[in-house]
Structure 1
Amino acid sequence: MGEMSTFQLGVIGALFLSVASSVSIVICNKALMSFLGFPFATTLTSWHLMVTFCTLHAAQRFNFFEAKSTDTKTVILFGLLNGVSIGLLNLSLGFNSIGFYQMTKLAIIPFTVLLETIFLKKQFSQKIKFSLFLLLIGVGIASVTDLQLNFVGTILSLLAIITTCVGQILTNTIQKRLNVSSTQLLYQSAPFQAAILFVSGPLVDQFLTKQSVFAFKYSPIVVGFIVLSCLIAVSVNFSTFLVIGKTSPVTYQVLGHLKTCLVLGFGYTLLHDPFTERNIIGILVAVWGMGLYSYFCTQENKKKQSNDVPLISQIKDKDDDAPVLVGKNMGHPDKESHEAKKSSKDSVV
């Protein structure tokens, strides 16, 4: 029970860190891009990842965590996939309306559920599906405005959805398969994510904004906000890997939509963004869906644990009974050992 309580506290801490850091970086980046005129989102993301890697490298040098050798090919492909997904999401925003971009992000949850059901044989109850449906409806009402479609934008959105879903599923499965922590996986993959965005970022940004990141005039306040954004990004990247590793890609996406609702609320409170009754209704429905999702997940986990405990106790009791068989054949030690092992093996089967 002590280990379970510690695990639950770890999950709560990871979720809180993810929400706090993500909302903070959105506000910081909005100030940087909207008020200070720095529109180079993809390039900024590459800087985020480079600073994250340097920070983790320093932490590893001071023995805050232990670097672990992993399957290099898997980590490289994983890092490149995540880098490509970030670039595709930014391109999707550039080719599509904001409303269609929001729909693209909403589609990540059902597509993740579909992939996990088909390839990982994971089962989702009707209650979980209903809560996710409510969540998507609420976020859609709150954030989706127009739905202008175009062929290139649709293709980019589909590619962004696929790469994002696969990348998040791999984040969870690689941590378990290679037996590495979220910190170790992020440390191994961040250089490759940063590399592909460092090369492609200026090109993508120039295509989308018609401006060059190298020709931009960097005032002290712009540099200060860039540094602040990079520092917050360390926490964002770390908490992302931590949440997906401790929970699931679907839970992380649910958390992402909670962040969307919080950002809308903070935008209205701090930045005086337009806010309508539709936004309020959408946020309330989304929060209801998130609450139901959390409740149903908790109930199903408790049910699973209660079903596992009797089985473990039964196996333990049968194993404890094995020495009684040994006591019946005191004159033959080898026979006693053989019968005890046989009894233990039979009880497990």
Structure 2
Amino acid sequence: MGEMSGFQLGVVGALFLSVASSVSIVICNKALMTNLGFQFATTLTSWHLMVTYCSLHVALRLNFFENKPIDTKTVVLFGLLNGVSIGLLNLSLGFNSIGFYQMTKLAIIPFTVLLETLFLKKKFSQKIKFSLSILLLGVGIASVTDLQLNIVGTILSLLAIITTCIGQILTNTIQKRLNVSSTQLLYQSAPFQAAILFVSGPFVDQFLTKQNVFAYKYSTIVLGFIILSCLIAVIVNFSTFLVIGKTSPVTYQVLGHLKTCLVLGLGYTLLHDPFTSRNIIGILIAMVGMGLYSYFCTIETKRKQVGEISSLSQIKDRDTSASLLASHQDKENKNAIV
């Protein structure tokens, strides 16, 4: 019971860390890109990952965690897949309207559920599906505005959805099957994610913004925000792997939509973004969906724990009965010999 309480506390801590760091970096990046004109999102992400790797390398040297080698092919493919998914999401935003991009992000949850059901044989109850539907409806009302479709943008969005879902499912699967921690997996994969974005980032950003990241004039305040963004990104990347490893890709996506609602609210409060009654209604519906999802997940987790405890008790009872029977037979055999 003590271990289970510790695990639940760890999950809550991971969720809080993920929400706090993600909302912080969104506010920081929004100020950097909107107010200061630094719009090179893909290149900035590559810097995030490089700083994350360097920070983890220092932590490894200080013995904060133990490095656990993972099969090179697995790490390379995993790192490249995650790097490609980030690039595709940025391209999707560049080729599509904001509304269609938000729909792309919403589609990640049902597609993840579909993939886990088909390939991992994972079962989702009707209550879980119902709560996810309410959540998606609320986020859709709050964040989706116009829906302008185009062939290239649609293809990029589909590829972004597929690579993001597979990458998040693999994050959970690799940690559990290879028995590696979130820190160990992030340390192994971050260089490959950073490499592909570092090479492709300037080209992607120039294509989307018509500006060259190397020709940009870096002021002291811009450099300060970039450094702050990179430092927060270390926590974001770590908490992302931690949450997916401790929970599931679907729960992480649900958490992502909670961040969306918080960002909308904080954007209105801190940055004075436009806010309508539609945003408020959507956020409230989304919060109901998240509450139901959390409630149903908690109930199912408790049922699973009770079932596991019951199974362990039955196994112990069988072992005890077998031991008593064996002891009784030994006594009878001894008496027969005498």
Matches for 1:318-333 after TM superposition, within 5 Å: 318-324=318-324, 325-330=326-331
Q: For 1:59 and 1:227, locate their aligned partners in 2 and report how far apart those are by CA, in whole Å.
A: 19
Question: TM-score under structure 2 normalisation?
Answer: 0.97
Structure 1 runs (4+) deviating above 6 angstroms are none
Aligned to 2:87: 87
Matches for 1:307-346 after TM superposition, within 5 Å: 307-324=307-324, 325-330=326-331
What one-letter code is carried by the residue in structure 2 that aligns with 1:240? T
Quote how far apart the aligned CAs of 1:326 are.
Answer: 2.5
2:54 corresponds to 1:54: yes
Of the structure 1 ranges 259-268 and 323-332, higher mean CA displacement relative to structure 2 is found in 323-332
Aligned to 2:195: 195
Aligned to 1:26: 26
Aligned to 2:171: 171
After superposition, what is the alpha-carbon deviation per residue over 1:227-267, rounded to whole angstroms, capped at 9, x for unaligned? 00000000000000000000000000000000000000000
Aligned to 1:127: 127
After superposition, what is the alpha-carbon deviation per residue over 1:88-109, rounded to whole angstroms, capped at 9, x for unaligned? 0000000000000000000000
Quote how far apart the aligned CAs of 1:306 are.
Answer: 1.5
Q: For 2:330 and 2:288, locate their aligned partners in 1 and report how far apart those are by CA, in whole Å.
A: 65
What one-letter code is carried by the residue in structure 2 that aligns with 1:215? A
Matches for 1:163-242 after TM superposition, within 5 Å: 163-242=163-242
Q: For 1:62 and 1:281, locate their aligned partners in 2 and report how far apart those are by CA, in whole Å.
A: 49
Aligned to 1:15: 15
Quote how far apart the aligned CAs of 1:50 are.
Answer: 0.1
Aligned to 1:159: 159
Aligned to 1:98: 98
After superposition, what is the alpha-carbon deviation per residue over 1:29-73, rounded to whole angstroms, capped at 9, x for unaligned? 000000011000000000000000000000000000000011110
Quote how far apart the aligned CAs of 1:330 are.
Answer: 4.7
RMSD, aligned CA: 1.1
Quote how far apart the aligned CAs of 1:331 are.
Answer: 8.8
Q: For 1:175 and 1:162, locate their aligned partners in 2 and report how far apart those are by CA, in whole Å.
A: 20
Q: For 1:231 and 1:187, locate their aligned partners in 2 and report how far apart those are by CA, in whole Å.
A: 16
Quote how far apart the aligned CAs of 1:322 are.
Answer: 2.8
SS at match of 1:328: helix
SS at match of 2:329: coil
Quote how far apart the aligned CAs of 1:178 are.
Answer: 1.0
Aligned to 1:297: 297
After superposition, what is the alpha-carbon deviation per residue over 1:199-224, rounded to whole angstroms, capped at 9, x for unaligned? 00000000000000000000010000
Q: For 1:328 and 1:112, locate their aligned partners in 2 and report how far apart those are by CA, in whole Å.
A: 55
Q: For 1:100 and 1:63, locate their aligned partners in 2 and report how far apart those are by CA, in whole Å.
A: 45
What one-letter code is carried by the residue in structure 1 that aligns with 2:227? V
After superposition, what is the alpha-carbon deviation per residue over 1:308-333, rounded to whole angstroms, capped at 9, x for unaligned? 22221011012123332234325979
SS at match of 2:330: coil
Q: For 2:323 and 2:93, locate their aligned partners in 1 and report how far apart those are by CA, in whole Å.
A: 68
Aligned to 1:64: 64
Q: For 1:192 and 1:308, locate their aligned partners in 2 and report how far apart those are by CA, in whole Å.
A: 39
What one-letter code is carried by the residue in structure 1 that aligns with 2:165? C
Q: For 1:43 and 1:289, locate their aligned partners in 2 and report how far apart those are by CA, in whole Å.
A: 35
Q: For 2:224 and 2:34, locate their aligned partners in 1 and report how far apart those are by CA, in whole Å.
A: 15
What one-letter code is carried by the residue in structure 1 that aligns with 2:257? H
Matches for 1:36-55 after TM superposition, within 5 Å: 36-55=36-55
Q: For 1:201 and 1:111, locate their aligned partners in 2 and report how far apart those are by CA, in whole Å.
A: 27
Aligned to 1:337: none
SS at match of 1:65: coil
What one-letter code is carried by the residue in structure 2 that aligns with 1:87? G
Quote how far apart the aligned CAs of 1:153 are.
Answer: 0.3
Aligned to 1:340: none
Q: For 2:56 and 2:96, locate their aligned partners in 1 and report how far apart those are by CA, in whole Å.
A: 35
Aligned to 2:138: 138
Aligned to 1:336: none
What one-letter code is carried by the residue in structure 2 that aligns with 1:315? I
Q: For 2:329 and 2:39, locate their aligned partners in 1 and report how far apart those are by CA, in whole Å.
A: 81
After superposition, what is the alpha-carbon deviation per residue over 1:14-33, rounded to whole angstroms, capped at 9, x for unaligned? 00000000000000000000
Quote how far apart the aligned CAs of 1:307 are.
Answer: 1.9
Quote how far apart the aligned CAs of 1:305 are.
Answer: 1.4
Q: For 2:319 and 2:239, locate their aligned partners in 1 and report how far apart those are by CA, in whole Å.
A: 41
Aligned to 2:149: 149
Unaligned regions of 5+ residues in structure 2, if any? none
What one-letter code is carried by the residue in structure 2 that aligns with 1:19? V
Aligned to 1:261: 261
Aligned to 1:341: none
Aligned to 1:3: 3
